[in-house]
Structure 1
Amino acid sequence: MKLSPRLSLGVLAGLATIGLALTGCTNTGAPTGGSSNAAPATQSVKAATGPTCSLSDYKGPKIDLKDAVVGFSQSEKEDNPFRIAETQSITDEAAKIGVKKLIKTNAQSTLSKQISDIQDLISQGAQVLIVAPLNSNGLEPALKTAREKNIPVLTIDRQLNAKACSDYVSFLGSDFVSQGKRAADQLIAGTGGKGNVAILLGSSGNSVTTDRTKGFIDQITAKAPDIKIVAQQTGEFARDKGQSVTEQLLQANPNISAIYAENDEMGLGAQAAVIAAGKQPGKDIQIYSVDGTKNAVSQIVAGAYNGVVESNPRFGPLAFSTLKSFLSGEPVGQSIVIEDSEYTPDNAASKVDSAY
């Protein structure tokens, strides 16, 4: 992840705090979206209008990150590319800017462990917390512990059902409803607006699943009345579960012509199930998903997958630039939405090396 000499992440975060929309502008100086020749290696701010949060609002002390102990709570075991890239980005940026100490934990997809992990980070002296929540609800005990000590909490990639600038400082992440809509647009274009579609839902209890489902269904309903959604079942964001669920769905609904998976891992599991059923993925049954992993994008290049909407996990630079602004007393947006690219048969070959 590299900062552009023209427009740094710190500048982007600063612009975000005063509510400027930066749609179409990336850290690399290239336009974002499906028409760009390369997926952005870093994150750019899509829009950050709305309320801000400052240190005076939060009642915390000013902190220099070079003198700080920062805790990072990862929610899921790192057996998929999104979590691997996310943790690596936080780790790399902490080293790059010279954070005094970074302490990392992994909740292994268990909510009770994430609560205890965050409390352990605090007991180990963490003065600042970056949290990738497992679920939108349930972290209240950990947030309460942090708030009682005025420890700033920055949340990334999944939004909490809690109060910004009170229970936590800010959320950094994608527009998940938009991701669902864009995946629907890809599927509509690829199928000609006709067919029977199965949805592989993500894990229940978090904003990602809820919003990606809503965006997709709303867009299909509004734009493609000849597409019928014949099944919806959770694959829990896991490849093996995505495969087993798809096998069951194909047996129950042999007329399925397209699959929307709410992450690439489930999409790749669905691809394996399609092959096992004696059909050609990408042709007999089209597959669309959200994430932007190199594994999935490579399958588009191979003609065995049809489209991917990116969900950029490289939060390190934007997270630390946001924290730096906040901890120095500057206001930051309570919700900072990033710009995501996308991959199609037309651009996947030229963009695959920028996937994660």
Structure 2
Amino acid sequence: MNRKFLAGAAVLGALALVVTGCSSSSGGDGGASGDSGDGTVTVGFAQTGSESGWRSANTESMKEAFSAENGFDLIFNAADNDPAAQIAAVRDFINQGVDAIVIAPIVEDGWDDVLQEASDAGIPVVLEDRTVTSPEDLFASWVGLDFKKEGTTAGEWAAENFGDTPTKMVVLEGTTGSAPANDRAEGFDAAIKGTSIEKIDSQTGDFTRDGGKTVMEGFLQKYGLDGIDLLYAHNDDMALGAIEAIEAAGGVPGEDIKIISIDAVKDGMQALVDGKINYIVECNPLLGELAAGLVTDVLDGKDVEKKVYVEDQSFTQEQAAEVIDSRAY
């Protein structure tokens, strides 16, 4: 399996986030199909939804890269975290005869049929951010992050800092069945194996701030502030929701309950600087230029890497304070 590792700093420099307006299409009326005849490439992008600050930054990066100024007509669909709706959107792209399709799959399973339909129609598919369990010959390439490594990095920090002391941990999981939720759990669990960290509960907050708050409220009612030592959140938005729940219960997040999170979006990094989160592993959302480059290369008949990994960073409170003002998201 070919893999290309790109340094996080280089990617951040190359993929500057330009804020654009939210619309159904970045060019034209969103209903064009195929090559317009003027060299414009029509791309259908099936996004998961708008569940988090990370997702919003990812969407804006994609819209900027697949802009009319760059020679694209982007047909954008956000499925509101409904896998069936996302598959229906991809089928609609196929029926419209787009030149290429980009998908950020909500869940890993269930993609074989529609990816085969795209292949039969001669429409290449590039996956971004999340992965699928379908055969690799059904998509041209994937660009994103190493979710398992993110979980491993978070778990290694937990093991180093809490592994020698009996520690009761709860987990806020991402969307059930999604690649980041599966892989971040696997990597973290492997890293803390054999330590004194005990996972006493784990539930999904669907990567949303409201979900994280609601689930954390339930954990606090069940175990109390004194019954939870550590929280591992699969993304910053859930961690931020949990912070609200901890504070409402009279606790001090980052002190009474230590918090480890993944994403490193602006709000999460600020909470880290403020001491409310203790450690964050980055998940870079600025994948647009890489995805657009892969689409262009595939349509030009060039060989591309099957998997393109973007290297992540990680941050303590001190490290976050040094970089927060210069970050693009």
For the superposition of Structure 1 and Structure 2, which TM-score range results when normalised by the shorter chain? 0.7 to 0.9
Q: How does 1:123-134 map to 2 (within 5 A)?
A: 123-134=95-106
Q: How does 1:233-312 map to 2 (within 5 A)?
A: 233-254=203-224, 255-312=227-284
Cα pair 1:301 1:349 within 8 Å, conserved: yes
| Deviation (angstroms), 1:340 | 0.9
Deviations 1:274-332 (A, max 9, x none): 11111100111111111111111001111111111111111111111122222222211
Deviations 1:86-107 (A, max 9, x none): 1111111122762241111111
- Which of residues 38, 46, 51 is equivalent to 1:73? 46
Tell me which residue corresponds to 1:32. none
TM-score, with length taken from structure 1: 0.80
| Deviation (angstroms), 1:127 | 0.9
Tell me which residue corresponds to 1:326. 298
Alignment partner of 1:179: what SS? Answer: helix
| Deviation (angstroms), 1:264 | 0.9
Code of the aligned partner of 2:10: N
Distance 1:25 1:79, change over 3 A: closer
Distance 1:228 1:334 in 2: 37
- Which of residues 45, 62, 77 is equivalent to 1:105? 77
Alignment partner of 2:286: what SS? Answer: coil
Cα pair 1:292 1:355 within 8 Å, conserved: no
Tell me which residue corresponds to 2:141. 170
Distance 1:158 1:312 in 2: 12
- Residues 1:203 and 2:175 are matched in the alignment: yes
Deviations 1:228-278 (A, max 9, x none): 211111112121121111111122223211100011111111111111111
Deviations 1:68-95 (A, max 9, x none): 111111112x242111111111111122
Distance 1:147 1:288, change over 3 A: same
- Residues 1:182 and 2:147 are matched in the alignment: no
Identity of aligned residues (%): 32
Query: Gaps (5+ residues) in structure 1?
Result: 1-16, 29-38, 44-61
- Residues 1:226 and 2:221 are matched in the alignment: no
Code of the aligned partner of 1:257: D
Deviations 1:15-65 (A, max 9, x none): xx9x5754657426xxxxxxxxxx66739xxxxxxxxxxxxxxxxxx9x99
Alignment partner of 1:197: what SS? Answer: strand
Code of the aligned partner of 2:159: I
Q: How does 1:152-171 map to 2 (within 5 A)?
A: 152-164=124-136, 166-171=137-142
Cα pair 1:343 1:351 within 8 Å, conserved: no
TM-score, with length taken from structure 2: 0.86
Tell me which residue corresponds to 1:3. none
Task: Identify the structure with bigger relative contact order (alpha carbons < 8 Å, sequence gap 6+).
Answer: 1
Code of the aligned partner of 2:244: A
Distance 1:111 1:170 in 2: 21
Distance 2:144 2:7 in 1: 16
Tell me which residue corresponds to 1:35. none
Distance 1:236 1:20, change over 3 A: closer
Alignment partner of 2:43: what SS? Answer: strand
| Deviation (angstroms), 1:207 | 1.7
Tell me which residue corresponds to 1:136. 108
Distance 2:7 2:115 in 1: 34
Distance 2:162 2:103 in 1: 39
| Deviation (angstroms), 1:203 | 1.3
Cα pair 1:132 1:157 within 8 Å, conserved: yes
Cα pair 1:297 1:355 within 8 Å, conserved: no
Cα pair 2:131 2:179 within 8 Å, conserved: yes
Code of the aligned partner of 1:285: I
Code of the aligned partner of 2:323: K
Cα pair 2:130 2:180 within 8 Å, conserved: yes
Code of the aligned partner of 2:148: V
Distance 1:319 1:239 in 2: 27
Tell me which residue corresponds to 2:23. none
Code of the aligned partner of 1:169: A
Distance 1:268 1:20, change over 3 A: closer
RMSD: 2.6
Alignment partner of 1:305: what SS? Answer: coil
Query: Gaps (5+ residues) in structure 2?
Result: 17-34
